[in-house]
Structure 1
Amino acid sequence: MTDGNGFLGGRLLVVAFAGWNDAGEAATGAVGILRDLLDVSSLFEVDPEVYFDYQFNRPTISTDDEGHRQLEWPGATLFGPAEPGVVGEPLADDAQLRVSGSNAGNIYLLLGTEPSRSWKGFTAEVLDAALAADIGGIVFLGAMLADVPHTRPISIFVSSENPEVRSELQIERSSYEGPVGILSVLSHAAELVGIPTLSIWASVPHYVHNAPSPKAMLALIDKLEEIIDVVIPRGDLVTEADEWQTGIDTLAADDEEMAAYINQLEQARDTVDSPEASGEAIAQEFEKYLRKRGDGRDGQAGRADGRPGPDGPRQP
């Protein structure tokens, strides 16, 4: 731990990658909001020619505010504050447009696209940059498609492989075994070099195909704000999350099969969340729910409580 003050005692790196770890663009959306609200600039970028297959992760083209056409290549960028540890006092007219709190000057960001090759080299390069920036802890944000209803609060699962972090923050250790994305590879390597980590995962309803998912993005920001001890302005995100849910409600109202399926998910979720539910009762209810569905799609859905299922998060 940094400076003897636990996980929050030093510089924190918040990480999200587009791709397998980012259902509904929730994780990258949350870190993107932080990038826009924090006074940070680029400290390090990987060479995309080394780590990306452009037929798999294609560059995108867009038009900027001045009418110029811009190409954006897949990559990964480390952002950091101009003056680490210094918390700027927001002016009255932008108080709702800046991240505030005693930890705000210690937040670094890593935002990018999951690499398509050379993961070991990518991991070594990223961790070298993190060590050079004197990062004291890393928070990984992820989102998975799961069998959860859009009408209930987004399920969030927080875990850590570090025993000190688990003790300090009263969180669990993940029991998942199976295929992983770049977040798990980076987390494993970070722990090996002495940087404590934790992961925050959101569950996104798998039947909602339109990205992004502002409700999942909002849930990640809520939990991140709680853990890293800052205040993050929500802007229009609350309204967008409400509109997202209302839009799905409208679609379900015209589709009896979809409405019935959502009702089943709601019943399973409510059983899990009920105060009298025991672990055995929850397991039995979920097994009954799966038998009723005859689920045999790919074995990769999350559980009814939003945690990763036996074969991990479903690929977005």
Structure 2
Amino acid sequence: MARSDLLISLVKAGSSGDLNSVRTTAEAIIAEERAKKHNVLAERLTSALHTSGSGHKPSQILGINSGRQKEFLLELVPEKRIEDLILSELNKIACEELIDEQRRSSILRSYSLEPRHRVLLSGPPGNGKTSLAEALAEALSLPFFIVRYEAMIGSYLGETASRLKRIFDYARTTPCVLFFDEFDAVGKERGDEHETGEIKRVVTSLLMQMDDLPSYTIVVAATNHGELLDRAVWRRFQVRLSLEAPTKAELAAYFKRFSESMLEQLGRTPGAIAKALGCISYAEAEEFCLDVRRRQVLSMGEKPLKKIVEERLKMWAARTSPTVREYTSNDRLPSTADPEAGT
């Protein structure tokens, strides 16, 4: 059975003659039925939606171009898996609970409960926020959409808010993971005296759209600067995870997986490699491993992997880096939100 709010919206739209809202609401009902595995009903509703007395398709009557909403979105095929990521125990539990709630949403709805579907990821850059969003989409077998700010943000008054609404209108029609990277670009504190009235209108529109999203549409937002977000924006997110820079132990676990995927010995233990590289992000750790793989492939077996690893470690030690030091304990790279972190 479709949610009561969707049925009420459908009746209201039909009574007022708002064909655009009729179609949007009907598509949301169809998406919800598909999410519940009610495929027969979903197909019958789809067939009814695409039939009209005049013989024209609804999209011709309403003038709807489905591609207009998607021009602000980049769709990626999710390949990252939760199992591939090195997560803290608390973050892993939070993700597992979210996935379980989405998969068993029908049980929750039978008790008038909805699964959580709004997730905020914060922390310094390069530590897996985008990868985690992608992994959630992969675990739930959902499309993964990334909001394209360069296409969405406009120069005219009200243009950005209007485009943001079109993105959310599209997301309501299908179960998906909608990902906002650099979320502070659209969710900044409205009390900032240096901001224009336009950003305040965008934030207000954003809050209204998020409140109106069905629970089968999962919104994941990522920010490197959580302190810049509007306080009302923080309140909208039911799950808030901090993805900090990896400790030495977490990096060692990452390099252990890399070592196990190689056919030769690396010449150093995962812990020794982590210590030699110092305080780096997961993105930098991944780049180091790819660097080693490139040199191994291009050597065509003429150079031992141990020697390649040593050469790469020397090259990385000579790089210009904001944190050129080795680990001395299980310390972490200072967060950009930490007022005591160095400039």
Shorter-chain TM range is 0.3 to 0.5
Q: TM-score scaled by structure 2?
A: 0.31
Q: TM-score scaled by structure 1?
A: 0.33
| Structure with the higher fraction of residues in strand conformation | 1
Higher relative contact order (CA 8 A, sep 6+): 1
**Higher gyration radius (CA):** 2
| Structure with the higher fraction of residues in helix conformation | 2
